[in-house]
């Protein structure tokens, strides 16, 4: 057992955070980004510096104008924003966290979502973004809302979300100067963990009384995915009856 990782897990339970933000621009539909952070109000930043050495990320020191009193110590903050680094950090502390176990679980689900999604390239081979479609964005939004709920357990500390409705209008397949980006859905997607027939089975067996948690264990997927399939918000293109032809 790495005692430092256990120490960091306890530190994260008290002072850490997992946040997923929804961002909108004038040109593109909504996208999501995740940030993992730890803050410490102390004169010495040795702990955060060691976390940075171990897991990467950035350590920031709040300027004096952000302190409420001259007697307060400096406030240091370590944050991590790249998905591979976040996955490595959350996976390392997951066995030991208690208070923020749900937040860590959702953070891992988010960074592992569509990790094999292909990239869109133009005719010169330049990367023009990822092949993200409506289902991907809606799935990330569900995780964001679940994380928001997990972060608000206890007395309310933030105002209700004032974000506008989710925008997915600009996420259609793109034709780039003869190099067409084809976005596949369902079992044809490169990161799909289920087949169309498995989705039909999940819906049928849940209707017959099999619990969602039992189905999640059987098909080795998250409970959130099973819930979305049962409610019809995920894998919406799969009908209960296979189409002919």
**SS3 per-residue string spanning the chain:** CCHHHHHHHHHHHHHEEEEEEEECCCCCCCEEEEEEEEEEECCCCHHHHHHHHHHCCEEEECCHHHCCCCCCCCEEEEEECCHHHHHHHHHHHCCCCCCCHHHHHHHHHHHHCCCCCCEEECCCCCEEEECCCHHHHHHHHHHHHHHHHHHCCCCCCCCCCCCCCCCCCCCCCCEECCEECCCCCHHHCCCCCCCHHHHHHHHHHHHCCCCHHHHHHHHCCCHHHHHHHHHCCCCCCCCCCCCCC
Residue 183: the pLDDT is 47
Higher local confidence (pLDDT), 239 or 175? 239
Q: For 82-126, how does the pLDDT look when each residue is reduced to its tens digit (9 = 90+)?
A: 889 999 999 999 999 999 999 999 999 999 886 555 555 444 444
Query: Predicted confidence band at 4 (pLDDT cuts at 50, 70, 90)?
Result: very high
Is the confidence at residue 213, as pLDDT, over 70? yes
Average pLDDT of the chain?
Answer: 76
Is the confidence at residue 9, as pLDDT, over 70? yes
Residue 178: the pLDDT is 46
Residue 235: the pLDDT is 81
Residue 177: the pLDDT is 47
| Domain ranges, ordered by start, for the chain | 1-115, 185-245
Mean pLDDT check: name the lowest of 43-57, 80-94, 166-180, 184-198: 166-180
Residue 217: the pLDDT is 84
Residue 185: the pLDDT is 61
Q: For 58-85, how does the pLDDT look when each residue is reduced to its tens digit (9 = 90+)?
A: 888 765 554 555 555 567 889 998 889 9
Q: For 124-146, how does the pLDDT look when each residue is reduced to its tens digit (9 = 90+)?
A: 444 445 556 677 788 888 999 89
- With b for 16 or more beta-carbon neighbours within 10 A and e for fewer, the 205-231 pattern comes to ebeeeeebeebbeebebbebbbbbbbe
Mean pLDDT comparison of 32-36, 154-158, 221-225, highest-scoring range: 32-36
Is the confidence at residue 8, as pLDDT, over 80? yes
CATH class (in words) of the domain with range 1-115 = alpha beta
Higher local confidence (pLDDT), 67 or 243? 67
């Amino acid at each position: 057992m790495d005692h430092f990782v256990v120490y960091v897990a306890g530190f994260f339970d008290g002072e850490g955070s997992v946040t997923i933000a929804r961002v909108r621009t004038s040109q593109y539909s909504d996208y999501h980004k995740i940030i993992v952070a730890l803050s410490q109000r102390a004169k010495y930043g040795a702990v955060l510096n060691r976390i940075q050495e171990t897991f990467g990320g950035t350590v920031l020191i709040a300027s004096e104008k952000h302190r409420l009193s001259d007697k307060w110590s400096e406030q240091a903050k370590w944050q991590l924003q790249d998905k591979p680094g976040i996955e490595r950090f959350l996976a390392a502390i997951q066995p030991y966290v208690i208070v923020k176990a749900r937040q860590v679980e959702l953070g891992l689900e988010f960074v592992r979502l569509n990790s094999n999604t292909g990239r869109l390239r133009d005719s010169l081979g330049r990367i023009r973004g990822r092949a993200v479609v409506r289902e991907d964005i809606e799935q990330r939004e569900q995780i964001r809302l679940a994380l928001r709920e997990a972060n608000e357990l206890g007395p309310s500390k933030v105002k209700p979300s004032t974000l506008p409705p989710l925008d997915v209008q600009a996420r259609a397949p793109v034709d780039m100067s003869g190099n067409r980006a084809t976005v596949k859905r369902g079992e044809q997607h490169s990161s799909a963990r289920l087949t169309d027939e498995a989705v039909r089975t999940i819906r049928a067996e849940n209707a017959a009384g099999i619990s969602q948690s039992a189905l999640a264990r059987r098909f080795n997927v998250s409970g959130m995915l099973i819930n979305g399939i049962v409610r019809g918000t995920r894998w919406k293109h799969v009908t209960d009856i296979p189409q002919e032809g």
